[in-house]
Amino acid sequence: MAEFEFTERDATLIAACLSAATAIVVARYMQARVEPEKLIADRAYKIYEATLRRFHRDVGNLDPLAVRQYLTSLRDTMKPISAHQHLRTLKTFCRWAVEAEVLAQDPTRGVSMKVPRILPRVPTDEAVRELLTACDESFEGRRNRALVSLLADSGLRISEALRLRIEDVRFGERTLVVRGGKGAKDGVGFFGAETAQVVRAWLGMRRDALPEDFLFTDRQGRPLSRDYGTHVLHRLSTRAGLPHKIGPHQLRHYAATSILKQTGDLELVRQVLRHESLAMALRYAHLAKPDVSRKFRRASPLDNLRAGK
């Protein structure tokens, strides 16, 4: 492959694309051009915009050497996972720039960054139990108990849970119609009998609610925002006296590891959490190791051979 040459024309076009006024437009457009089948949520657009704004402020061009120096500097100022997010965004932007014929070649091609594998923090059974106990019998208390139960049982993302309408909850089959999940994909969620009982108790506070109303609302019937939902969980964590605040994604991790410990079925975990591949579900196998050790003591081939089983 020929050496990449960064021309004055390239600099002018890229500077225009990266200007603060058009960053979000570029982010939306490049996503549609590069991965039209993977529409992304507003939160992802905000990440794109913030990343491109910072890059435009600190660098402003896509000279390959400048890109590498920028990424190296990020490692000194932020966590590796955050620096890797910047690299992914720039790579997506550059793919769009090549696709749109703004650039002849991708200056980030061949640039990689290793991210240390960090196991997620998973709440204990007792912590989740304390979180549920911290919910009183008021309007907000029953709502919060239903939210915690659904997140911990179904493994839904907080945005998916807060988009649910009452009609999306199928008590007969104990399933959920998940609309606009990750990648703008609809799907099916699942919940158990205990959660069904808690959600019914919450809906009992809303006798006048219609099927098309949001499942989780405030007293005025307004849907909860993602930030407010997270704040509710943090406040409950404090009220319960937990050493660490539990967030919505930690309850998703809890659901995954609990299902895995009970069944040992990674494919089931993948389907419940609606991951596209087993790679994501495999993270939870490391968290379930103590349970695997206990099961292996019962399944040891030579122990069973000696016992004549």
Residues labelled as active-site residues: 157, 182, 249, 252, 275, 284
Range 280-298 burial, b when 16+ CB lie within 10 A, else e = ebebbeebbeeeeeeeeee
Q: Which two tokens stand for residue 257?
A: 């590891």
Alpha carbon distance 190, 195 (integer Å)? 10
Alpha carbon distance 253, 274 (integer Å): 13
Of residues 170, 178, 125, 172, the one with CA closest to residue 152: 125
Nearest to 258 by CA among 244, 236, 273, 241: 273
DSSP annotation of 166 reads: G
Q: What are the φ and ψ backbone dihedral angles of 201, each rounded to 5 degrees?
A: -65, -35
Is the C-alpha dihedral spanning 287, 43, 230, 226 positive or negative? negative
Q: What is the DSSP string of 25-64?
A: HHHHHHHHHH-TT----HHHHHHHHHHHHHHHHHT-S--H
- The CA distance from 284 to 256, in Å, is 7
Q: Which one, of 23, 32, 24, 82, lies nearest residue 184 by Cα? A: 32
Hey, is 178 helix, strand or coil?
strand
